[in-house]
Amino acid sequence: MNGLLGVDYGHRRLGLAAGDAAGIVATALRTVPVRSVDDAVAAVVAACAETEAEGVVIGLPLNMNGTRGPMARQVEAFAERLRGRLDIPVELWDERLSSSLVERTLLDADLSRRKRKAVRDKLAAQVILQSFLDARAQPGMGAEGEVWA
C-alpha cells in the first residue's frame, strides 16, 4: 500500500507532504512555486506519480466559525480540477490553525524570516496530512474516502 499526498494550496506556492505506507507518519516533501491553477494541478499530478500516492488530502482553509470564505471556495475548485485529472481519491481536510501552528513552531525555533518562508508551506502540508492520518486512526472517525471538511 502506498501513502497519501498532503497539499497546502496557495496562489504562489504549494506545500507537499507524503504519508508513509502504513498511514501513520507524514513527512514534509517540498514547496513548489506555482504561477497558476494549471501549474498547481500539474505539480500535484506529478507528485502523485512520483510518490505513487493512493490519495490526496488538501487543506481546506475554513473560517474560525466553520464557514467557507473565498480561499476555501478556490481550494474546493482546485480539488474538483484534481479529481478530473486523477484516478485516486481527493479529500478536503479542515486546516484551521495549521499555518499558525507552523509559524509559531518556526518562531520558537528562532528561524529567520527567509528560512521560515522556505519551509512554511511544506510543513503546513505535513501538519494537514498528519492531522488527517491521526483522525483516521481514531475509532469511529469515518471511513476512508469520506470528505471530513
Q: Tell me what pLDDT residue 119 has.
A: 76
Q: How far apart are CA 40 and CA 59, in angstroms?
A: 14
Q: How far is the CA of 105 from the CAs of 100, 119, 123, in angstroms?
A: 8, 11, 10
Give burial (CB, 10 Å; 0-12/13-18/19+) of 5.
Answer: buried
User: 10, 121 in Cβ contact below 8 A?
Assistant: yes
Q: Enter the pTM of the model.
A: 0.84
Find, among 53, 24, 29, 61, the residue nearest to 135 by Cα.
24
Hey, what's the cell of 43? 505539480
**How many CB atoms are closer than 10 A to CB 125?**
32
Q: Looking at the DSSP assignment, which residues form a beta bridge with residue 94?
A: 60
Q: What percent of the chain has pLDDT over 70?
A: 81
pLDDT of residue 146: 45
Domains and CATH numbers, the chain: 4-137 (3.30.420.140)
pLDDT in tens, 21-64: 999 999 999 999 999 999 999 999 999 999 999 999 999 999 88
Question: Which has the closest alpha carbon to 96: 148, 22, 29, 38?
Answer: 148
Q: How confident is the model at residue 144 (pLDDT cuts 50, 70, 90)?
A: very low
